[in-house]
């Protein structure tokens, strides 16, 4: 495990030299950015990274910039030792686990990436500044590690969209790949925040994927039916408080019109007890 920016840079340079010595003419570095508390969803990202390149770097950093003042920064699960153990035998070349001081020597940054209009919608409306914080740390990781590709989960669909847009808008020479959401047997999307749920909340949380299933099944009856189908599942579970339900165009992440036909993504966020969960699903609207 490497903590400082200087060490990870020399670690990657060394890994490149080794790969070249082993006959890989142009080794590709692939980054998996995480905040730790790793679960099988993260491991799917790591597996995809190993397919995409030769040198896999996993970053583990709980980024204070993306947490609001009333959010769970101090209680966010930190499980560095078991995370590193989970990455063993997974084809990971280097783990980068910088401290807050390494990443933000002045405690904060005065220059940050702005996520723009889409960054203020859905997650961004409930969590103002969240995506500016995400894009700023991802931009820093891209500069520090200079990966050829980076892998993000589709569960955080708005984040994936915004990182792809940042890479294009700011001409980062990095391919940004999405990996399908990994779900538990009951359909709940894996998330580091699922550990906050007690047994009853965990059962209630199943209405999120169930609402997305209902939305997908209503796709042949138009957008209004999609929204109504998802809402009717959520209102049936009193422990779950809907934050937003939106149907967006995957190409723009703007809400679709009522007469939209074709591909769409249903986004959902809800509070189950004190835990906020998000999920999404691609659907087709006839
Ligand atoms: O998805 C996450 O875990 C974080 O938002 C990320 C991309 C690692 C940036 O801190």
pLDDT in tens, 97-118: 999 999 999 999 999 999 999 9
Take atom 6 of ligand 1 and give the residue whose Cα is closest. 34
Residue 5 is encoded by which pair of tokens?
């920016």
**Is the confidence at residue 252, as pLDDT, over 80?**
yes
Position 1 scores a pLDDT of 82
Counting from 1 in the atom list of ligand 1, the atom nearest the Cα of 134 is 9
Cα of first residue to Cα of last residue in the chain, in angstroms, is 50
Question: pLDDT, tens digit, for every residue of 55-101?
Answer: 999 999 999 999 999 999 999 999 999 999 999 999 999 999 999 99
Distance 60 CA to ligand 1 centre (A): 9
Name every protein residue with a CB atom under 6 angstroms from any ligand 1 atom. 33-35, 63, 66, 134, 137-138, 156, 159
User: Best mutation site among 134, 152, 162, 177 for ligand 1, i.e. most ligand atoms within 8 A of its Cβ?
Assistant: 134
Q: From the CA of 254, how far away is ligand 1's center (Å)?
A: 22
Considering the domain delimited by 192-285, tell me its CATH architecture: 2-Layer Sandwich (3.30)
Domain boundaries, the chain: 5-179, 192-285
Q: Count of residues for the chain?
A: 286
Catalytic site residues?
42
> Ligand 1 center to residue 279 CA distance, Å?
15
- Domain 5-179 superfamily per CATH: HUPs (3.40.50.620)
| Token output for 284 | 């087709």
Predicted pLDDT of residue 144: 98
Distance CA 68, CA 179 (A): 27
230, 264 contact by CB (below 8 A): no
Ligand 1 pocket, mutate which of 142, 152, 156 (most atoms under 8 A from CB): 156
CB distance 274 to 205 below 8 Å:
no
pTM, two decimal places: 0.97
Distance 35 CA to ligand 1 centre (A): 6
* Residue 196 pLDDT greater than 80, yes or no: yes
CA 81 to chain centroid, in Å, comes to 22
């Amino acid at each position: 495990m490497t903590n400082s920016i200087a060490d990870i840079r020399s670690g990657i340079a060394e890994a490149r030299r080794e790969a070249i010595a082993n006959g890989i003419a142009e080794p590709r570095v692939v980054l998996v950015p995480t905040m730790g508390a790793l679960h099988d969803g993260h491991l799917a990202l790591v597996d995809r990274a190993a397919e995409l390149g030769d040198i896999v770097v996993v970053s583990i950093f709980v980024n204070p910039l993306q947490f609001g003042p009333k959010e769970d920064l101090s209680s966010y699960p930190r499980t560095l030792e078991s995370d590193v153990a989970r990455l063993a035998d997974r084809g990971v070349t280097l783990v980068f686990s910088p401290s807050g001081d390494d990443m933000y020597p002045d405690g904060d940054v005065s220059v940050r990436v702005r996520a723009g209009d889409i960054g203020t919608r859905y997650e961004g409306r409930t969590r103002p500044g969240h995506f500016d914080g995400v894009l700023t740390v991802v931009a820093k990781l891209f500069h520090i590690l200079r990966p050829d590709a980076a892998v993000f989960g589709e569960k955080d669909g708005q984040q994936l969209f915004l990182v792809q847009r940042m890479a294009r808008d700011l001409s980062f020479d990095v391919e940004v790949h999405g990996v399908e959401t990994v779900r538990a047997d009951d359909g709940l999307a894996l998330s580091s925040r699922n550990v906050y749920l007690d047994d009853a909340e965990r059962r209630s949380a199943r209405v999120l994927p169930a609402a997305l299933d209902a939305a997908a099944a209503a796709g042949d009856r138009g957008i209004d039916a999609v929204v109504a189908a998802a809402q009717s599942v959520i209102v049936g579970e009193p422990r779950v408080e809907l934050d937003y339900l939106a149907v967006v165009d995957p190409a723009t992440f703007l809400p679709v019109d009522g007469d939209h036909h074709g591909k769409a993504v249903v986004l959902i966020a809800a509070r189950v007890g004190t835990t906020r969960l998000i999920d999404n699903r691609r659907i087709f609207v006839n």
